[in-house]
Amino acid sequence: MAASSIMPATVTALPAGSQVPGASSSPGGAGGANSTLNENAFLQLLTTQLEHQDPLNPVSPSDFAAELAQFATATGVQNLNTAFAAAGGLQAAALVGRNVAVAGNTLVLGAGSGATGAFSLPGAASDVRVTIANAQGQVVGFLDLGPMAAGTQSFVWNGQTLAGTAAPPGVYRYTLSATGTNGAALAATSFSVVPVTAVSLGGTGGPSLSLGGGLAPVALSAVQQVF
């Protein structure tokens, strides 16, 4: 007896990738709002495929395993991306109210508190000096930090001016002068230490941080250190 007289050779094949061809072919008659092949739809489509396969020419075990692996990979990548996005959002939200170091040379002096600055040294320094200026560019403070090791360092300006008075709260700028142990100048990289005031999670590049001190928002990846 011919094979066609036993059972119609109707084979329902899975589409390539993790997308169904369109809304009309979605299992269960789902609408066109979501054409992504989820786990339930995948199992229903796979069951239909097995029910209607030609018994004289069934799906090979290798093809069956490949279909399972293809769907598992697509689902795993999607879940991993979702997890990374959620973790980045939580990490960024935890920084609200904290001070972070980002590229720049801003000092934010609060009422009754000092202003923190940070910098990175490419090598050990025999002496590091900090010159502080106000918004008008007038030098109002000076710090001699002495010898410092290579790497990221920080300092605190207590707000005392060169005249011995307390500087008013506000935003200041600082410059660095570092001398290496061989007497040559070191190119120190300065960082602004400013508070995180808010977090935005809607950007395509990941979470962004709104900063105090008049600084523009930055990406979470721009943070060099948390204080």
Report pLDDT digits (tens) over 12-53. Answer: 444 454 444 444 444 444 444 455 556 667 667 767 766 666
Res 37: pLDDT: 56
Q: Total domain count for the chain? A: 2
Cβ-contact 173, 138 below 8 angstroms: no
Domain finish residue from 93, 113, 141: 93
SS3 for 62?
helix
CA distance 161 to 159: 6
State the CB neighbour count (10 A cutoff) for residue 100.
22
Least Cα distance to 148 among 129, 168, 161 occurs for 129
Using the 3D structure, point to which of 62, 93, 124 is the last residue of a domain: 93
Tens of pLDDT, residues 70-106: 655 545 545 544 544 555 667 778 889 999 999 999 9
- Res. 154 pLDDT band, cuts 50 70 90: very high
The pLDDT of residue 223 = 93
- For residues 89 and 109, membership in a common domain is answered with no
pTM for the whole structure: 0.61
Choose from 50-59, 85-94, 134-143, 204-213 the range with maximum mean pLDDT: 134-143
Q: What is the C-alpha to C-alpha distance for residues 174 and 156, in angstroms, rounded to an integer? A: 12
CA gap 223, 103 in Å, rounded: 8
Q: Are residues 149 and 105 in the same domain?
A: yes
Per the CB < 8 A criterion, the answer to whether 196 and 91 are in contact is no
Q: Which residue has the higher pLDDT, 227 or 177?
A: 177
Q: Which residues span the domain enclosing 68?
A: 3-93
Backbone phi and psi for residue 136, each to the nearest 5 degrees, phi listed first: -90, 0
Q: Do 69 and 142 lie in a common domain?
A: no
Of 48, 65, 93, the residue that ends a domain is 93
